[in-house]
Structure 1
Amino acid sequence: MSYGFEKGRSYNRRQDIHARFGGSQQSGIIPAPAHNVIFIMSGARGPEYGYDDEVLEDGTVLYFGEGQRGHQQYIRGNRAIGDHAADGRSLLLFHKRYPQRDIIFVGEMVCESFEWRQGRDADGAMRQVIVFHLRHIDSIVEQVEATAPILDDLGALRALAYAAAGVREPMTGNKPRTIYERSADVRNYVLARARGTCEGCGAPAPFVRRDGSHYLEPHHIRRVSDGGPDHPAFVIGLCPNCHRRVHAGIDGASYNTSLLARMPAIETKL
């Protein structure tokens, strides 16, 4: 579950989102003011307002940015989506049903990239629209964890990790690195930075992988779920015990807070 929401379950937007997290009750993109989460809404009636969201065969969700009239801009809610990984904010997608008028939780997403397209606004006039490419975070975790980490030059890995932390540039003729590649970049750097020692408790890695690298697990401190590209300043290399402590321990929340407090020293020591 992400922030207590279960996939496929019906929720009331006013009671289950705004009463708990705040945020605009009118917009389809809702950054929570006091929480590291952004709620986004999609629905069958979107084309009436200039939005035409779509799910591709490979699972990619094409999500249209906010702004019903005139050219859309990369500001406010649109920027919040594009920069959510760099900002350490989870992105939760809901589908609005009609005539029920409830919302169904689709899942936690990660923004892979965005592109500019020509489309019509709510009045039928042509304009520029932003289309975000979103992936389910679960599919990212599965693919990235299936690959072995590449421990090489730490400086080069760090450069790749920081480049992977955001998706501020739109898609161009040269296709950007995929969400899987960028997620692996962050993980590879964090595990190399740890140098075989848990950055939580200081214990050595419990064993060595077949490729000779030390086994540690990357933990995304400012995410409810582990996975997806994030900023290296919010990702820490943990032994399995510390990782389980964060997610299942009675002191998991306070331990996670203590890890966040350590990150400035960890990430600036290089």
Structure 2
Amino acid sequence: MKGFDRGIFRLGDSMSWGFERGRIYNRRRDIHAPFGGQQQGGIISPAKHGLVVIITGEEGLEHGYADRWRPDGVFEYFGEGQVGDMSIRAGNKAVANHSIDGKSLLLFTKTKAGLRFEDEFVYDSHHIERAPDRENNLRDAIVFELRPIGSLVEVVEAVAPAIGAAAPDLAALRKKAMEAAKDSPGKTKKTTTVFERSRDVRDYVVARAMGDCEGCEAPAPFLRSNGVPYLEPHHIRRMTDGGPDDPRHVIALCPNCHRRVHSGADGAHYNSTLATRMLTIEAKN
């Protein structure tokens, strides 16, 4: 497709974006109409909205964009720039800094029927590799390493000690979680990956709950195989305050409360209630 470039859009601010995984959307009707922005070109940036949308597709191969999935679940997304070496500016900078800027990152795949929504992602890191450009000349290409946000906020590891084990040092866990929240790309020279930072926050939040849902305050509905109460960290302000890592905005919920936030008719209101509750929870620690 002539003129095709890396599709990077910035869209609306909302806790629930309304896009369903696997559903096909019309670019003009479902993106431009509600959110505005430029009607042509690969980058559309409505001024008042905090979202970055990246678009992948087979036709990108014509311009040297060999996007792919890695076995470990990371999506490697080639940056924008059809000819010559790529650099971290414009759309590439928006992707690299989306977490720091408090913007959600959504991936769509361009198909004949329209744009298929894949998932929300988080920038982990990027690397440079030699790859051909549109004119088939080798150049330095930026390859972003992106993780589905579900791998950070939905997959819960057994991070709390099993029953009978020594009580965790909550103060030490909180200190580590707060350090992880500050150690985000662009803020320090030495950074851990977003997965490692999220794990440190998850360790603290699950331990802080002490086996009870921090939403409904009921005991965890069941125990893991090692005797650890099952709770799920929920990121109240996932993409703000430096990314999905700030423990002051992460709450431990039972599966029922977690599904209520994401799928309930009162989900947005309940999330606001949880945000208020977090003020009291964190004040105790």
Which residue, 238, 257, 263 being the options, matches 2:272? 257
User: Does the aligned pair in 2 maintain the 1:61–1:135 contact within 8 Å?
Assistant: yes
Cα distance in 2 for residues equivalent to 1:28 and 1:150: 45
User: Does the aligned pair in 2 maintain the 1:200–1:238 contact within 8 Å?
Assistant: yes
- Unaligned stretches of 5+ in structure 2? 1-15, 162-167
Partner of 1:233: 248
Cα distance in 1 for residues equivalent to 2:43 and 2:176: 29
Range with bigger deviation, 111-120 or 24-33: 24-33
2:76 is equivalent to residue 62 of structure 1: yes
TM-score w.r.t. length of structure 2: 0.69
User: Does the aligned pair in 2 maintain the 1:29–1:66 contact within 8 Å?
Assistant: no
Cα distance in 1 for residues equivalent to 2:96 and 2:281: 26
TM-score w.r.t. length of structure 1: 0.72
Q: Percent identity?
A: 51
Cα deviation 1:82-105 (Å, max 9, x = unaligned): 3444555432211223xx372222
Cα distance in 1 for residues equivalent to 2:284 and 2:85: 44
Partner of 2:232: 217
Q: 1:26 to 1:231 in 2, by over 3 A?
A: farther
User: Does the aligned pair in 1 maintain the 2:184–2:194 contact within 8 Å?
Assistant: no
Cα distance in 1 for residues equivalent to 2:279 and 2:81: 37
Cα deviation 1:3-25 (Å, max 9, x = unaligned): 33333333211211222234454
After TM superposition, list the pairs within 5 Å mapping 1:6-85 onto structure 2.
6-26=20-40, 28=42, 33-85=47-99
- Specify the SS of the correspondent of 1:45: helix
2:109 is equivalent to residue 95 of structure 1: yes
Partner of 2:160: 150
- Aligned AA (2:96): G
Aligned residues: 258
Cα distance in 1 for residues equivalent to 2:113 and 2:262: 34
- Aligned AA (1:250): A
- Aligned AA (2:215): G
Partner of 2:185: 168
CA drift at 1:113: 2.2
- Specify the SS of the correspondent of 1:259: helix
Q: 1:123 to 1:21 in 2, by over 3 A?
A: same
Give the aligned CA root-mean-square deviation in angstroms: 4.0
CA drift at 1:221: 1.6
Which residue, 249, 252, 258 being the options, matches 1:243? 258
Cα distance in 2 for residues equivalent to 1:89 and 1:14: 21
